[in-house]
Chain A
């Protein structure tokens, strides 16, 4: 149980285009999901907390108009990178909060490369 999927697993796009990444909890419902970004040889940095039915909460320094988050159901959150640029190339990882409330189950990540 407690499986989280992400789609796509990797994506290559041209500079200026937008890319949507999906995060799904497959066998449980998640009111809260989290989006992280990880650059090579670095740690995971929390970008935002996604709450079902309400606006996401962004961490300091993360542009909410650039990284659009939609948590429309209890099993799906999406992250859209708008007008992507090469510096947005990174590994994006989502997690879903489990029933206990303090545990997070992580997705496999999405590798974004912006040319």
Chain B
């Protein structure tokens, strides 16, 4: 059922601006991190990943930064478009079981 009063953190940006979505992860032993995009009523869609031996990785219009010292992950989206509007989740893969632990999510709202 639905939890009354629960809401996702929201980032509102103007079309064309750059977006930065942040995530704090929990397990210092996690060695693989992924960003997913989820549109309403759909499953998560892979955006970009990064391993713990890197601190930056770039894709098409997206960049992921990893700061292991403070257990922080960020997703940068360049020239944000209306089609980027969705909920973005970070996930960490911390062990031999390959289970993913998802963050709480951020709703990105792109204003035209």
Q: Which residue of B lies closest to A44 (CB)?
A: B102
| Secondary structure type dominating chain B contacts | loop
Are B89 and A46 in touch, CB under 8 angstroms? no
User: A106 contacts the other chain (Cβ, under 8 Å)?
Assistant: yes
Are B44 and A106 in touch, CB under 8 angstroms? yes
Q: Which residue of B lies closest to A97 (CB)?
A: B98
Q: Which residue of B lies closest to A109 (CB)?
A: B43
User: A7 contacts the other chain (Cβ, under 8 Å)?
Assistant: no
Are B3 and A39 in touch, CB under 8 angstroms? yes
User: B61 contacts the other chain (Cβ, under 8 Å)?
Assistant: no
* Residues of chain B lying within 8 A (CB to CB) of residue A106: 36, 43-46
Q: How many residues of A contact B (CB 8 A)?
A: 31
A32 to B42, CA, bound (A): 21
* Residues of chain A lying within 8 A (CB to CB) of residue B41: 91, 109, 111
Q: Given A86-B1, A102-B32, are A44 and B44 also a contact pair (CB < 8 Å)?
A: yes
Are A39 and B1 in touch, CB under 8 angstroms? yes
Are A32 and B7 in touch, CB under 8 angstroms? no
User: A49 contacts the other chain (Cβ, under 8 Å)?
Assistant: yes
Which B residues are within 8 Å of any A CB, using their own CB?
1-3, 6-8, 32, 36, 41-46, 49, 89, 93, 97-105
